[in-house]
């Protein structure tokens, strides 16, 4: 039974960890480079955690999540907690080095696979389990972080990933049903709950985002069994099961019958319908995720407060929260002085979301008069956004309406013959995905341009010099299809957003993508227009330096959409088609400049796939339509490539074929070419470039290793359709690693020809 004296009113489901100025990223990379030791790294981490907890406490939240900090990834942390790291890293004596070896590999050890965290742009590391895996509890991290928070006077709520989600996200090495391992995990969770209670935790948050996906009756029964067992423990904290990224649906009444004290629902995804339908939450704290943790728009109090009151009227005890962890939000609007003031007034980053949560909680529990002035400021911003003319461009909307049904060119076999004649490439052509290392010189030039110490002409000259060096290096290595290396691009989405009307870029809006990789998602606030060509001069310059084909490199409409903070006032499909028309215009201009191969990357195609099967067909239809529209303006002799990475592709194989790209490069290194079987099963008969080595690890693959990968690929793909490439762009790697790896790649391809 819910204890009225053990509830709270305002919280978030998780906190960012990279630091307001990416301090953790820099410290970890310094540790990897040997510039600081483990003690130095731990000191930086402890300082960031303490500062964050105190900021949130002082902002007025009365329950604060702890344990969401990570040096790399929360799922990897859970594997450590449960003693489930792969055997290949167990021999590494140092605890921190063992952890990072599992995350990113080293010269001797391959890392865990990486894939997308539900439908976000965060990547998690996939645990490897089997029927033989022996679990054991290692609770030092959650206990230490709880102790740390309580010492600061923080009302701490430890957070752990739940057993259902951990097992459903893991990879079965032997094909066994991993949910059958739940009886082996539950005693560890029972032990952990007891230890956390002894250490002073009044609540524990158990994250179960997998419960917002389609679950079978058998799986729902497993959920009930697990949480009823945990709820029946005599000495434990109150349990909050947190869901996010979707509606709980049938899982909510199942949880409500277990005896747990709290359930977090994602109201940004419509989860209040779950609560109303459940009708059994009078003894449960409903943590209402009304403030969207995955987007940046200011809350409309006149929409939010009635929904919160509706939950309370249904009999629930209500706490106001973010819809998900603030891991996905920038820290604060405070540094964003370059944003246009009008646009800035529409936004809420992490700090502002926390303030919104406190505002709504006060209005809900104390009445609107207590915060009338703040509520009116929010209402004014919402009204102003709705009336802005940049959100309603009649020309763009007419163009989108007239583009319906556009498809691309002749059948694939006819295009293949024309392109073979034009390009005259060898069997097993070699190439890269696009970017080359962003060197110190490139970053310095970008910083100097930003500070105004060099002008645009000097910056452009330095970029041309970098391009010339990259083209010369590729020719010397012997690659068949070259790239310009993208030195001028800060990010594969932000670069385009900065040149398209309807977007705004941030100064310090960093969020974690994986490990130490951070991105600054642009803000897509209005209708999208391409005022001028964005990439043509760079690609044309690179092509002028060589007789080999140079790929024009573009980011696709779905990925630009997925990796931006997107407008929420119209259907995603409409926004995607607006972006597609801008990319289409760019492909036409590239072709006119003599570029024979154009790559339109869609690494986020799987990422936006709705979590419920009932919603997936409609999404895939408009996503494929947007890509095909973006590539429909060029001749059959121009070869269209696309790139997909780090996702579970089996569910979207039909859509990958539907893109109708002449060549699709795809992540396959960490998964040992398994995706090719899915492609074959779907009758895929276009060109394919399965990544033959993992660029996210510093390892340099031997020629023989790449030959082995290619041998596996050739069992699934005829040599006439097989391309040879790394599994992703090379931006984050060092030049020496890249050069050695590509030499081995070229040698492997030549050996197999």
The span from the CA of 606 to the CA of 580, in Å, is 17
| Strand positions, DSSP E, 491-573 | 501-504, 511-514, 517-519, 523-529, 551-555
Q: Is 598 exposed, middle or buried, given 0-12, 13-18 or 19+ CB atoms closer than 10 A?
A: buried
Residue range 698-708: mean pLDDT, rounded: 90
Confidence of residue 611 (pLDDT cuts 50, 70, 90): very high
Residue range 426-455: mean pLDDT, rounded: 92
Beta carbons of 588 and 634 less than 8 angstroms apart = yes
**Given this model, what pLDDT does residue 278 score?**
56
**Given this model, what pLDDT does residue 396 score?**
94
**Given this model, what pLDDT does residue 667 score?**
78
Question: What pLDDT, in 10s, does the model give residues 46-66?
Answer: 999 999 999 999 999 999 999
The span from the CA of 23 to the CA of 131, in Å, is 40
The span from the CA of 563 to the CA of 121, in Å, is 7
Residue range 246-274: mean pLDDT, rounded: 90
Tokens at residue 384, please?
């102003």
Q: Is 389 exposed, middle or buried, given 0-12, 13-18 or 19+ CB atoms closer than 10 A?
A: exposed
Confidence of residue 338 (pLDDT cuts 50, 70, 90): very high
270 CB-near residues (< 8 Å, 6+ apart): 247
The residue behind tokens 């939450």 is 281
Active-site residue identified among 123, 328, 641, 696: 696
Confidence of residue 666 (pLDDT cuts 50, 70, 90): confident
The span from the CA of 598 to the CA of 359, in Å, is 49
How wide is the angle at C-alpha 278 spanned by C-alphas 276 and 281, nearest 5°?
90
The span from the CA of 729 to the CA of 665, in Å, is 11
Residue range 172-195: mean pLDDT, rounded: 96
Whether 696 sits among the annotated catalytic residues: the reply is yes
238 CB-near residues (< 8 Å, 6+ apart): 2, 3, 6, 202, 203, 204, 261, 262, 285
**Given this model, what pLDDT does residue 516 score?**
96
Question: What pLDDT, in 10s, does the model give residues 457-515?
Answer: 999 999 999 999 999 999 999 999 999 999 999 888 999 999 999 999 999 999 999 99
Beta carbons of 575 and 504 less than 8 angstroms apart = no
Torsion, Cα of 221, 227, 229, 230 (10° steps): 170
Q: In this model, does residue 519 exceed pLDDT 70?
A: yes
DSSP 507: S
Q: In this model, does residue 594 exceed pLDDT 90?
A: yes
Q: How many CB atoms lie under 10 A from the CB of residue 407?
A: 11
**Given this model, what pLDDT does residue 669 score?**
62
DSSP 430: B
The residue behind tokens 């642009």 is 522
Q: In this model, does residue 428 exceed pLDDT 70?
A: yes
Question: What pLDDT, in 10s, does the model give residues 362-386?
Answer: 999 999 999 999 999 999 999 999 9
Question: What pLDDT, in 10s, does the model give residues 66-97?
Answer: 999 999 999 999 999 999 999 999 999 999 99
The span from the CA of 652 to the CA of 606, in Å, is 7
Tokens at residue 515, please?
């490990």
Q: What is the pTM of this model?
A: 0.91
Beta carbons of 606 and 647 less than 8 angstroms apart = yes
The span from the CA of 743 to the CA of 722, in Å, is 19
Q: Is 385 exposed, middle or buried, given 0-12, 13-18 or 19+ CB atoms closer than 10 A?
A: buried
**Given this model, what pLDDT does residue 672 score?**
58
**Given this model, what pLDDT does residue 179 score?**
96
712 CB-near residues (< 8 Å, 6+ apart): 672, 673, 676
Q: Pick the more confident residue, 205 or 6.
A: 205
Buried b (16+ CB within 10 A) or exposed e, 514-540: bbbebbbbbbbbbbbbbeebbbbebbb
The residue behind tokens 């926004």 is 575
Q: In this model, does residue 743 exceed pLDDT 60?
A: yes
Percent of all residues in the chain with a pLDDT value above 90, rounded to a whole number? 81
Residue range 208-218: mean pLDDT, rounded: 97
Q: Lowest-confidence range among 252-266, 278-292, 416-430?
A: 278-292
Confidence of residue 569 (pLDDT cuts 50, 70, 90): very high
**Given this model, what pLDDT does residue 142 score?**
98
């Amino acid at each position: 039974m819910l204890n009225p004296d053990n509830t709270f009113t305002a919280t978030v489901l998780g906190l960012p960890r990279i630091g307001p100025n990416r301090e953790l990223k820099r410290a970890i990379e310094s540790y990897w480079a040997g510039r600081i030791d483990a003690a130095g790294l731990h000191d930086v981490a402890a300082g960031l955690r303490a500062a964050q907890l105190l900021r949130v406490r002082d902002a007025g939240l009365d329950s604060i999540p702890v344990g969401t900090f990570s040096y790399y990834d929360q799922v990897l942390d859970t594997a450590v907690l449960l003693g489930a790291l792969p055997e290949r890293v167990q021999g590494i004596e140092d605890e921190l080095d063992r952890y990072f070896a599992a995350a990113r590999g080293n010269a001797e050890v391959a890392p865990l696979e990486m894939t997308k965290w539900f439908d976000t742009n965060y990547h998690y590391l996939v645990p490897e389990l089997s029927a033989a895996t022996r679990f054991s509890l290692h609770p030092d991290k959650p206990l230490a972080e709880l102790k740390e928070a309580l010492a600061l006077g923080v009302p701490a709520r430890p957070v752990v990933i739940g057993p259902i989600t951990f097992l459903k996200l893991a990879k079965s090495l032997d094909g066994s049903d991993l949910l059958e391992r739940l009886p082996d995990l539950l005693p560890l969770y029972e032990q952990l709950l007891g230890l956390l209670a002894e250490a002073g935790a009044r609540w524990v948050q158990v994250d179960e985002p997998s419960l917002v996906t389609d679950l079978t009756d058998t799986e729902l029964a497993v959920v009930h069994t697990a949480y009823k067992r945990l709820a029946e423990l005599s000495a434990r904290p109150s349990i909050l099961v947190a869901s996010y990224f979707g509606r709980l649906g049938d899982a909510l009444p199942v949880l409500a019958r277990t005896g747990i004290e709290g359930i977090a629902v994602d109201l940004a995804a419509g989860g209040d319908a779950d609560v109303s339908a459940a009708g059994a939450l009078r003894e449960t704290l409903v943590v209402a995720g009304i403030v969207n943790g995955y987007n940046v728009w200011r809350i409309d109090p006149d929409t939010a407060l009635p929904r919160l009151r509706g939950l309370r009227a249904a009999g629930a005890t209500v706490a106001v929260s973010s819809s998900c962890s603030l891991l996905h939000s920038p820290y604060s609007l405070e540094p964003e002085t370059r944003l246009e003031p009008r646009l800035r007034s529409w936004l809420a980053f992490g700090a502002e979301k926390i303030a919104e949560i406190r505002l709504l909680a006060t209005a809900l529990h104390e009445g609107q008069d207590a915060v009338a002035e703040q509520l009116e400021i929010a209402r004014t911003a919402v009204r102003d956004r709705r009336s802005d003319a940049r959100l309603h461009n009649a020309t763009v909307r007419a163009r989108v309406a007239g583009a319906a049904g556009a498809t691309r060119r002749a059948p694939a076999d006819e295009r293949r013959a024309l392109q073979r004649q034009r390009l005259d490439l060898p069997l097993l052509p070699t190439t890269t995905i696009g970017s080359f290392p962003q060197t110190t010189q490139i970053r310095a030039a970008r910083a100097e341009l930003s500070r105004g110490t060099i002008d645009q002409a000097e910056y452009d000259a330095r970029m041309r010099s970098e391009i010339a060096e990259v083209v010369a290096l590729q020719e010397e290595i012997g690659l068949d299809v070259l790239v310009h290396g993208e030195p001028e691009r800060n990010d594969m989405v932000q670069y385009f957003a900065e040149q398209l009307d309807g977007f705004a870029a941030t100064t310090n809006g960093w969020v974690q993508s994986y490990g130490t990789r951070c991105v600054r998602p642009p803000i897509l606030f209005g209708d999208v227009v391409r005022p001028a060509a964005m990439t043509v001069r760079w690609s044309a310059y690179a092509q002028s330096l060589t007789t080999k084909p140079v790929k024009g490199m573009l980011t696709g409409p779905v990925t630009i959409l997925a990796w931006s903070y997107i407008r929420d006032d119209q259907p995603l499909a409409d926004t995607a088609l607006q972006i597609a028309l801008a990319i289409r215009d760019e492909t036409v201009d590239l072709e006119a400049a003599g570029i024979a191969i154009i790559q339109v990357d869609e690494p986020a195609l799987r990422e936006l796939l709705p979590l419920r099967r009932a919603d997936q067909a409609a999404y895939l239809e408009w996503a494929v339509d947007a890509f095909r529209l973006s590539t429909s303006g060029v001749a059959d002799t121009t070869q269209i490539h696309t790139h997909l990475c780090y996702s579970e592709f089996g569910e979207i194989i039909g859509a990958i074929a539907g893109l109708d790209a002449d060549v699709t490069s795809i992540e396959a290194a960490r998964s040992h070419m398994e995706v090719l079987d899915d492609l074959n099963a779907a009758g895929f008969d276009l060109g394919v470039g399965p990544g033959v080595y993992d660029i996210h690890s510093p390892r340099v693959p031997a020629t023989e290793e790449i030959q082995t990968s290619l041998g596996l690929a050739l069992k699934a793909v005829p040599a006439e359709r097989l391309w040879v490439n790394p599994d992703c762009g090379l931006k984050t790697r060092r030049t020496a690693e890249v050069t050695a790896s590509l030499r081995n790649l070229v040698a492997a391809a030549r050996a197999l020809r």
